[in-house]
Amino acid sequence: MKLFLTGMAILIAGYFLYGQTVKKILAPDDRQTPAEKNNDGVDFMILPNWKNMLIQLLNIAGIGPVIGVIIGIRFGEIVFIIIPAGCLLMGAVHDFVAGMMSMRHNGANLPELVRLTTGKHVYRIFSVFLSIALLLVVAVFINIPATLSTTLVNIPHEFLIMVGVIFVYYICATMFPVDKIIGRIYPVFGGLLLLGTGALLIALLWNAYRNPGLLTESAAFQAGKFTAAKNMPLIPMLFVTIACGIISGFHATQSPIVARTIKSEKQAFGVFFGMMVLEGAIAMIWSAGALAIYNMFPELIGTNPNGVLVKITQTFLHSNISTVVILSVIILAITSGDTAMRSLRLSLAEMFHVDQKPISKRLLMVLPLIVLTAGLLVWSNADQASFAKLWTYFAWSNQVIAVFALLAGSIYLFSLKRPAFITVMPGMFITFVVTSYILWISPAHGGPVGLGLDIEYAYIIAGFISLVVFAWAKLRGESITMNK
């Protein structure tokens, strides 16, 4: 209980203290924004600030701060400190820098920002990688909400029907102007999300007050806890497992969507930094719910996280509110999946210089994505092992994207001769995480194919690579000129 409350206090204090340091370095001002300069009635337009905040929150808050932390809390109570610290020092900075860079470069998507900072050779590699990663995101964010939806409906072939419904919605949200679907229904979705999560927080605090041991590690929980001896070392595994509550490269693909609808740069801090901090709070609440459930029902440790999620809501909330909470989690996934597909459309259009104002050209970009995503869905649902592989590839690739986003941000700040420690520190750390993961992981270590090195050697090599990459970023930044 104490660590949970301490973590929530760190999030709140960090927003006002460290957040102001980051804000001064990026220095939002009164310059004309892409929404004003490039208004095309489709992707570029001015939306109210409150709508931008809710759109950004729902874009970034996928299943990571719920499903991810239900798995990730098995690393122990230390998660209650790592989530807020990581959210402030890494995730919120990552999202804010990506959003500000996009606003200052005509609403550019992440691949274009990578090209401007790292050069065309890195850009080409990254563009291919990002396209594959976003397809994985879309597939995961159709699969999981369709699975959860089957707990709310009982009709023949409900999973396939829900996949079809979600798929059709994704296509519409991808094709239509941003204010027609996303701008209208996200405020409603946002209200449901905040209502459900708030209800869970109140229920958890009340139950923990009556039983303080509920949010501490019981003996049964410790027996099922993730440890290095069980092939789950805290680094890198925690930061691949939880992702969205701490840092997520996927967010850097979403920030440009809202960067194209903001009226003033001075709204950017609340939209990008603030909404990531709120996502961190959501992750804290769901990790607390998972710890409580594992303490009460230790037989659930290691079971499907979707089932654990349902058990959390059924245990702590009234049946009607439980339904709302499950619906809010489904919404989390759907409202990230649709903008993942939208981001992929925009990125591909930017790469191939395809005008997106005519609906026929938007359709041209979307049709291949439909076919590829359908193929991934068929493969991932062939058996449980296939879905496990899809999730693993999704989680790791998500953090690789964060490396590129922070690398681009560091080069940008170095080019402006501004303090770059805010991006260099998290950039080096997450580079260390993804590199040590791929060097260490292997079937022998309980994971997919990797190099299978001893963890000590993986750490040494990953540390060296991290230093080299960001030393290059400094040299690169000092040699180029970018928009202030």
pLDDT digits over 139-149, tens only?
A: 777 777 777 77
pLDDT tens, position by position, 147-184: 777 777 676 677 778 888 887 877 776 677 756 666 66
Q: In this predicted model, what pLDDT tens digit does every residue of 226-259 receive, in sequence order?
A: 999 999 999 999 998 887 789 999 899 889 989 9
Better-scored residue on pLDDT, 471 or 183: 471
> According to the model, what pLDDT value does residue 279 have?
93
Could you tell me the CA-to-CA distances from 36 to 44, 261, 356 in Å, in that order? 8, 8, 18
Q: What is the mean pLDDT of residues 50-54?
A: 89
Taking residues 193-208, report their average pLDDT: 88
Query: If we measure between CA atoms, which residue out of 94, 15, 430, 74 comes closest to residue 287?
Result: 74
Burial of 360 (0-12, 13-18, 19+ CB in 10 A): exposed
Evaluate if residue 386 carries a pLDDT over 80: no
Residue-wise pLDDT tens digits, 341-357? 777 777 778 777 788 77
Instruction: Dump pLDDT digits (tens) for 447-465.
Output: 778 899 999 999 999 999 9
Report, as an integer, the average pLDDT of 45-69: 84
Residue 91's SS3 state is helix
Q: What is the mean pLDDT of residues 54-70?
A: 81
Average pLDDT score, the chain: 87
By the 8 A CB rule, do 212 and 1 touch?
yes
Distant-in-sequence, close-in-space partners of 415: CB < 8 Å, separation ≥ 6: 117, 477, 478, 480, 481, 482
**Winning range, highest mean pLDDT, from 94-98, 342-346, 382-386:** 94-98
Single-letter amino acid, residue 291 = L
At 354-369, the pLDDT tens digits run: 887 777 777 777 778 7
Mean predicted confidence (pLDDT) in 309-337: 80
Q: Give the percent of the chain with pLDDT over 90.
A: 51
Burial class (CB in 10 A: 0-12, 13-18, 19+), 475: exposed
* Helix, strand, coil % over all residues of the chain, rounded to 5: 80, 0, 20
pLDDT tens per residue, range 273-284 = 999 999 999 999
The domain 2-396 having CATH identifier 1.20.1740.10: the answer here is yes
